[in-house]
Amino acid sequence: MAVPSRRVTNDELAKTIDTSDEWIRSHTGIGARHIADKDTAASDLGLAAARKTLALAIERGAVGEKSPEELALTLDLIVVGTSTQDYYSHPATACLVQRALGAKNAAAMDITIACSSFIYGLETAAALLKADARRNRALVIGVDLLSRITNWEDRATCILFGDGAGAVLLEKTAAKTVPGGILRTILGADGSGWEYLILRRGGSRNPWKKGEVVEEVPAIAMDGRAVYNFAVKVITETIARIMEEENIALDDLALIVPHQANARIVQAAAKRLKIPEELFYLNIEEYANTSSASIPIALDELNRAGRLKKGDLIITVGFGAGLTYGGNLIRW
Ligand code: UT7
């Protein structure tokens, strides 16, 4: 994972907008967020997370290569989940990371479905590895700088978001020798909620016009209540479906790693599922909602803290603009 060093507390936000630490904590569970400086873009944070991932794989003896440069050359694919690409539309942020890593043999692509991008990205990478015997390794990065597309005068949205990146290295192994990996993924969408989380300006529907006086900041507009209700519903249903269809009992699960959007969403889903809240990992208090990055950041924290043991069964679950949702069942 990589997060910017600048940490903005709720109290600091309350100096510029009409809000309070008490309101933000009680409605979202957020205590702070990390905000990138003006010279940092998605590929910079994504690259930092990627470099740390390659270094960790070498340090842990998970790969035979001895240097990140050597390891980067073995990558067949780089997938970047992000909605805050360095450049509008193209080039893909994954191409910028590919160049900086020197991963000359890797294909590169972005997945742009807001907060569900990492879950979709993981399944895309796994499927592309399986699809060709010659592909063996993929790097999946989730990175977002939502601070760049946030209206900092809108207290209903700006308190929610933070910047960050996380990454994982996937390697294809023979199923018989290592009974692990991504066992099952559920992906879904409900386009009828397209307007609930939206960046209205700048696309082919509402392009910026020549000579236009830009009064409106290109910022996230959100129907918070509608997204909240959708989130509780799909998180509950996705976890229930994975457990039922894969025949998994509560005792089999080591952890559930949810997208960190609002602690209350997770608590409501836990209650509906009758799953103890403690089974859900939450770090939203420190990072707020980092969109595509929230799940890989959580995975890295858990991994480095020794809380993920080989063989552990975990579920990742999330939702985002679109509206989209999904979940991965993973044998660590
Ligand atoms: O990945 C991105 C996905 N987005 C989300 O996950 C967002 C999902 N939605 C939510 O998390 C919640 O709907 C929010 C946290 C955004 C809002 O919580 P809420 O309990 O739904 O509050 P609300 O919008 O119903 O507003 C309640 C009150 C309003 O005041 P009145 O009308 O009752 O007087 C708001 O104006 O709280 C007020 N309010 C605030 N007060 C202080 C809204 N934002 C703030 C704020 N500080 N930051």
> pLDDT of 264-273, one tens digit each?
999 999 999 9
The verdict on residue 34 lying in a domain is yes
* Residues in the chain, pLDDT under 70: 175-179, 214-217
Count how many domains the chain has: 2
Cβ pair 246, 327 in contact under 8 A = no
289 is catalytic: yes
Q: Give nearest CA residue, ligand 1 atom 14.
A: 224
Q: What pLDDT was estimated at residue 177? A: 60
Range of the domain at 46: 7-171
Whether 2 is in a domain gets the answer no
pLDDT score, position 212: 77
Catalytic residue among 10, 262, 289, 328: 289
- Pocket flag, ligand 1, residue 127 (CB < 6 Å): no
What pLDDT sits at residue 202?
A: 84
- pLDDT computed for residue 29 by the predictor: 98
Distance CA(107)–CA(129), nearest Å, equals: 11
Q: 139: part of which helix (H) or strand (E)?
A: strand 137-145
Whether residue 158 lies in the annotated active site: no
Q: What is the pTM of this model?
A: 0.96
* 93 within ligand 1 shell (Cβ under 6 A): no
Query: 3-class DSSP state for residue 271?
Result: helix
Domain boundary among 144, 171, 198: 171
Q: Are residues 204 and 111 in the same domain?
A: no
pLDDT at 74: 98
- Per-residue model confidence (pLDDT) at position 214: 66
Q: Which residues contact 39 (CB under 8 A, 6 or more apart)?
A: none
Co-location of 240 and 259 in the same domain: yes
User: Is the CB of 320 inside a 6 Å radius of any atom of ligand 1?
Assistant: yes
What are 159's two structure tokens? 């308190």
